[in-house]
Amino acid sequence: MPTYRKSVVPLEPGAAALPLVAIVGRPNVGKSTLFNRLTKTRRSIVGDEPGITRDRIYGEYEWSGRRYRLVDTGGIVPDDPDLIPTEIYNQAKKALEEADALIMVVDARTELASPDYDLARILQRGGKPIFLAVNKVEVEAQESDAENFRRLGLRNVFAISAEHGLRIGDLLDAVADAIPAPPDAPVEEVIESTPEPEVEAEEDPDDWKGPKKNRTHGEFEQHETSIAIIGKPNVGKSTLLNALTGTTRAIVSPIAGTTRDAVDEVVEFEGQTLRFVDTAGIRRKGKTHMMAEKLSVVMARRHLEAADVALVVIDACEGVTASDATIGGYAHESGRSVIIVVNKWDAVTTGRTDGKPPADREIFEKQLRNVLKYLSYAPVVFLSALEGTQPGSKPMNRLLHEVIAIASERRKRVTTGQMNRFLEKIDFQRAPVPMSKRIRIFYMTQGSVAPPTFILFTDRDIKLHFAFERFLENQIREAFGFKGSPIWFKIKARNAKKED
């Protein structure tokens, strides 16, 4: 059975849990700006549009030698009947239950309204330390205006500017004093992790050249495996995250584009640490209009680049579309290992209500392979994420096992001796390549892993013909596996001139 935990950075065994501070408030008051300032990241998408943040976003910050966990919540509007605001409120309530201290953020430029009073009363009922951050106070003359917000009945009031980092130290000092350090607490080892990529509004994901996870050493141990869940809007990515983690971590709704910020959760399964990241639905450029949507697509592409494995989710009801092919191409070109997940399979088989006969798995997979020819190495898993979230349902062990296996194949190394013995057995005359494009391979070695990359030492410095590359890749897979992972080749000609 998988076990679940919410820590953002894995702690060493026996280490004390970090205290959690929750940032709450109405929409568009600057909660995400404060979160990004404290965590020194751009983890939360920031914009002028209200209600950008929806799910809980976790991070960490350090103050006066102590580390704290921080959670950014969506804008809370109590008693709002609409679906999305209600789900945002439910997500925020979970953060309030977990938190040791609360920072309520208000906008100094707006008048107090009834939702502010309602939210303050809700927070006070919890009996936890509450700190009122009156945000967007850029000049000293405005500091006196912050006193007007004492009408909310909160004693600890701080005038700050999250955007410019002004007067935040006093707020953090007060929070630290309210959460005393446990006596004789063990010192936690700071585990370095890849910093969150920064996002600028004008950036184009197609022009971004992010770092590739390309390992040059041998088969290595990794603290955790990162898995990005990608796909079109409304194919069930958030439902799949909830099913895999056994939580209600991500908001699920029939409204396309519900997820904006990437949402991650950690699963411990059979001794492996798996971090699943639910990303926003990727649309074509012409289909994104609001800035929040554009930035969420950029973030989705970047979280894909930072992952080890990509789960490409396809809606069985819609079949394989051109958008699915484009998204699968992103994963393939970035060098991620890939598992194709056909979701909502029950809707076209056992739960079909349109009177048509149940879909045939073999026919569907054949059609899928025909469209996604470049992902021929990726296994296909048919499932219903919704069934996996029902009470009493079995964990999605098959998919979890597949993830672990694919991650292991991605990090596998073949020795040079094995490769040379392999080359001796290949009949290259069978390769369907024109004579003018044929090359002679003297020897071959694996230069790196994740993804597996092979260096070919040849007689000519020319690009491999696609037919020859496909032939060689098939031979390598037949001999050594590398299931689920793309295979890259690099050419080094023996007679190539050395550059000075």
For position 84, what pLDDT does the model report?
40
Does residue 239 carry a pLDDT above 90? Answer: no
**How sure is the predictor about 428, in pLDDT bands with cuts at 50, 70 and 90?**
confident
**Structure-model confidence comparison of residues 297 and 361, the more confident one:** 361
pLDDT in tens, 55-75: 578 889 999 889 999 988 876
Average pLDDT over residues 95-106: 90
Can you say whether the dihedral through the CA atoms of 239, 244, 245, 246 is positive or negative?
positive
Would you say residue 52 has pLDDT above 60? no
Each as own residue / partner, the long-range contacts of residues 254-259 (CB below 8 Å, 24 or more positions apart, any chain) are 255/83, 255/84, 256/281, 257/233, 257/281, 257/283, 257/293, 257/296, 258/54, 258/84, 259/54, 259/55, 259/296
Tens of pLDDT, residues 119-157: 898 889 889 999 999 999 988 777 888 888 999 999 999
- Which of 184-198, 356-370, 389-403 is least confident? 184-198
Mean pLDDT computed over 26-39: 88
pLDDT at 88: 59
48: pLDDT strictly greater than 70: no
Mean pLDDT for the stretch of residues 380-398 = 80
At residue 220, the pLDDT reads 44
- By C-alpha distance, which of 156, 25, 32, 22 is closest to 96? 22
CA distance 283 to 421: 46
Looking at residue 310, its amino acid is: A
Asked if residue 264 has pLDDT above 50, the reply is: yes
Task: Share the mean pLDDT of the chain.
Answer: 78
**Predicted local confidence at residue 297, as pLDDT:** 66
Is residue 47 over pLDDT 50?
A: no
Higher pLDDT, residue 21 or 429: 21
Measure the CA–CA gap between 5 and 3, rounded to whole angstroms.
7
Instruction: Summarize the confidence of residues 443-460 as an average pLDDT.
Output: 91
Q: CA neighbours within 13 Å on the CB side: how many for 282?
A: 28
Identify the weakest region by mean pLDDT among 194-208, 292-306, 471-485: 194-208
What is the pLDDT, as a whole number, of residue 317?
Answer: 93
| Percent of residues, the chain, with pLDDT higher than 70 | 73
pLDDT band at 78 (very low <50, low <70, confident <90, very high): low
Interatomic CA distance for residues 384 and 389, integer angstroms: 9
pLDDT for residue 79:
53
- The whole-number average pLDDT for the span 30-39 is 89
Q: What is the pTM of this model?
A: 0.67
288 pLDDT more than 60: no
The answer to whether residue 197 scores a pLDDT higher than 60 is: no
The predicted pLDDT at position 203 comes to 41
Looking at residue 405, its pLDDT comes to: 95
Exposure on the CB side of residue 102, measured as CA atoms within 13 A: 28
**Residue 14: its pLDDT value, please?**
35
